[in-house]
């Protein structure tokens, strides 16, 4: 089996700092809440430093990935409802239901039904709303 080498090259000072961090808190899959808390403390200390050296930045990226993987497995976040997402986009753009209706051609009653959870977003509405709010359709299509 052939081994591959990573494409990043750390010069002596940055490599030494990276290795110091790995020795102090090894980069390994997070297996418990205690391990998660310790990882978050290390990340907080690094972030509090402000500007990081290359070795510290690479270490922080890897540790962040390990934390995110653990959190995704143990604390999954359900997608926002169509009503929540539409409400958020409307608030962010400071637009009323009437304005949204006029500017997208979607009936005000339909927008109201989506906002109270009586009606899901259709593919046609998603395309119109994504264009209007200038977001990717996947933002609004999470519940399809």
Q: What domains does the chain contain, in order, with CATH numbers? A: 12-74 (no CATH), 82-140 (1.10.260.40)
Q: Do 133 and 89 contact (CB within 8 A), yes or no?
A: yes
* Beta-strand runs (E) in the chain: none
- For the chain (144 residues), the mean pLDDT of every run of 10, in chain order, is 55 84 96 97 95 92 96 90 95 96 96 95 96 93 79
> How deeply is 13 buried, as exposed, middle or buried, from its count of CB atoms within 10 A (0-12, 13-18, 19+)?
exposed
* pLDDT score for 16: 87
* pLDDT score for 4: 47
Q: Do 115 and 87 contact (CB within 8 A), yes or no?
A: yes
Element (H, E) at 23: helix 12-24
* pLDDT score for 131: 96
* pLDDT score for 8: 61
14 Cβ contact list (under 8 Å, min separation 6): 53, 54, 55, 56
* pLDDT score for 1: 47
Q: Which two tokens stand for residue 74?
A: 């143990």
């Amino acid at each position: 089996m052939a081994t591959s080498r990573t494409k990043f090259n750390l010069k002596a000072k940055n490599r030494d700092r990276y290795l110091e961090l790995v020795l102090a808190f090894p980069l390994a899959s997070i297996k418990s809440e205690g391990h998660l808390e310790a990882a978050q403390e290390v990340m907080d200390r690094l972030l509090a430093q402000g500007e990081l050296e290359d070795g510290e930045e690479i270490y922080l990226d890897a540790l962040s990935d390990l934390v995110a993987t653990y959190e995704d497995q143990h604390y999954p976040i359900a997608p926002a409802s169509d009503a929540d997402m539409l409400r958020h986009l409307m608030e962010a753009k400071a637009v009323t239901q009437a304005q949204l209706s006029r500017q997208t051609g979607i009936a005000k009653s339909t927008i109201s039904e989506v906002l109270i959870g009586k009606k899901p977003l259709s593919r046609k509405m998603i395309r119109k709303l994504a264009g209007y709010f200038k977001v990717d359709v996947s933002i609004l299509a999470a519940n399809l």
